[in-house]
Amino acid sequence: MRIPHFLRSVLIGIPVGITFLDTVGYVAKVEGISMQPALNPDLKNPDYVFLNRWAIRTRDIQRGEIVSVISPKSPSQTLIKRVVGLAGDILHTRGYKSDYLQVPDGHCWLEGDHTGRSMDSNTFGPVSLGLITAKATCIVWPPNRWQYLEASMPNQRTILSSRRS
């Protein structure tokens, strides 16, 4: 029995597509104001970013990068936040249960750029690196916002002490 060309294409295409999405990355809509002004400066035209799964395979996460993470509070929800602190960093928190904190090994400190308008590490504490699912590497939509997302720390954020720079 001969399988029709279309059906054969579908049977091959679906597993290839799923593998691509699971290992390389996918495009996601950024919702809300927590990452303003870097993402979603105009809520009428939300940003769509490429979430690069391949970039996190080595767990080489740097300060200032924007990442997607499984929410520690609601595991069915994915958040997009900026890495502000890495393991060993001592930083001043913004409303967390202690004013200063050293980020434990295997964890990072994540914050939204819109201070006070973000559910982030100031709400739930340090985040396990295992919850990071991808790095946001570029804005792909709308066309007037096309750009690579460089790792950068917000001007108002500084690390008090660090194991690595």
In sequence order, what are the beta bridge partners of 50?
Answer: 27, 138
In the annotation, is 34 catalytic?
A: yes
In sequence order, what are the beta bridge partners of 29?
Answer: 48
In the annotation, is 73 catalytic?
A: no
Q: Decide the pairing of beta strands 48-52 and 127-128.
A: unpaired
Tell me the two tokens of residue 121.
């590490």
Of 81, 118, 121, 135, the catalytic one is 81
**Element (H or E) spanning 11, and its range?**
helix 5-23
Alpha carbons 81 and 112: distance in angstroms, whole number: 5
Sign, Cα dihedral of 97, 102, 104, 109: positive
C-beta separation of 159 from 109 below 8 A: no
Helix (H, G, I), strand (E, B) or coil at 127: strand
**Element (H or E) spanning 84, and its range?**
strand 78-86
Of 34, 68, 118, 121, the catalytic one is 34
Annotated active-site positions, please? 34, 81
